[in-house]
Structure 1
Amino acid sequence: MNATAQRPVDRWFASYSGDHQNRTNQKIHIFAVPAILWTVVALLWCIPVYGTVMKSGLWSGLAMFVAWMFYNRMSRSLGLGMLAIFITMAWLTRWLESWLGVANLFYLALGVFVVAWIAQFIGHKIEGRKPSFLTDLTYLLIGPAWVLAKFYRVMGWRY
């Protein structure tokens, strides 16, 4: 299949993979990208929604829904996988909120966010290439799908 016949998801992944050839950087991404995704979910979860029954989670839910629409449009299979990931992250975040409280959830998520981004930049230093999102912010959404697609390939699933 030539480059013009590829699906958009294949073109995104080919471009993203070009910036992630080093095995150490790839391994860092396998852990850091999902961690960053969870922190975004958790940090948005902590934004209060005054005047509603929901005290938290609304902004996070909206962001997950918009991101899920992007993934589902790229690939139904990846969309289903990302939906499962978002549901799991929402459940985990809600559980952590009930256990730690909103303030401590915020600090936990902030700490994980900082550590995961430091790991990402160390990976890219090892790689010798700048992070993909510095050329196009869409790559912030491509990263989680790229990690999921790696899992799909290991499992022998098509995306």
Structure 2
Amino acid sequence: MKKIDALLDEYGESHQNKTNKLIHWICVPLIYFSIVGLVRAIPFDLLSNFSIDKNYLNWASISIVLVMIYYLTMSFQLTIGMSLFSILCLFICNKIILLQLSILWISVIVFIVAWIFQFIGHNIEGKKPSFLRDLQFLLIGPAWLMHFIYKKLNIKY
């Protein structure tokens, strides 16, 4: 069994209840987006002497590259899907910034509300969130959802 399959199976063990699954389909992408937003809110003055577009080179884009390297160690195909979703999240964050809204506060609110619902879902499920056992499950959650999309589209991962 591939490492990704073992991790997805283990993650899935604590996500069997239909209500909890529905909550996860909504909240996991929101949490992922909010984390991208929180990291995007960190000032990027590392290369301030150079003319760079901070929409493309910032702490969020650097973090996304590192996360994609982690996914790449397990599944090239899932990395493609997660890369596309990550780019979408970063694009939305940049649009929020262009609208002169606070990406920091929007991300904080989304993060808190989504986690409240996640814990409600796990209370319904009767099992603790997977990440309490192993922090890497914070990255497996989005991949777990992506693998269902791949299965529906008949794409091997």
Q: Work out whether the TM-score is over 0.5.
A: yes
Q: Tell me which stretches of 4 or more aligned residues in structure 1 moved more than 4 Å.
A: 53-57
Partner of 1:148: 146
Distance 1:135 1:54 in 2: 39
Partner of 1:35: 30
Partner of 1:107: 105
Trace 1:35-114 onto structure 2 (pairs within 5 A). Answer: 35-50=30-45, 52=48, 53=52, 58-101=58-101, 104-114=102-112
Q: Structure 2, unaligned stretches of length 5 or more?
A: none
Deviation string, structure 1 residues 77-123 (Cα, Å, up to 9, x no partner): 1011011111111111111110134xx22111111000100010000
Distance 1:105 1:70 in 2: 26
Is 1:19 aligned with 2:14? yes
- 3-state DSSP of counterpart to 2:26: helix
75 and 55 in structure 1: CA distance in 2 versus 1, 3 angstrom threshold:
closer
Q: Structure 1, unaligned stretches of length 5 or more?
A: 1-5
Distance 1:121 1:58 in 2: 31
CA positional deviation for 1:50: 2.5
Distance 1:91 1:42 in 2: 10
| Greater per-residue helix proportion | 1
**Structure with greater contact order relative to length (CA < 8 Å, sep ≥ 6):** 2
Partner of 2:156: 158
Distance 2:54 2:150 in 1: 36
Tell me if structure 2 keeps the 8 A contact 1:48–1:55. Answer: no
Supply the RMSD in Å over aligned alpha carbons.
1.4
Tell me if structure 2 keeps the 8 A contact 1:73–1:79. Answer: no
Partner of 1:3: none
Aligned length, in residue pairs:
152
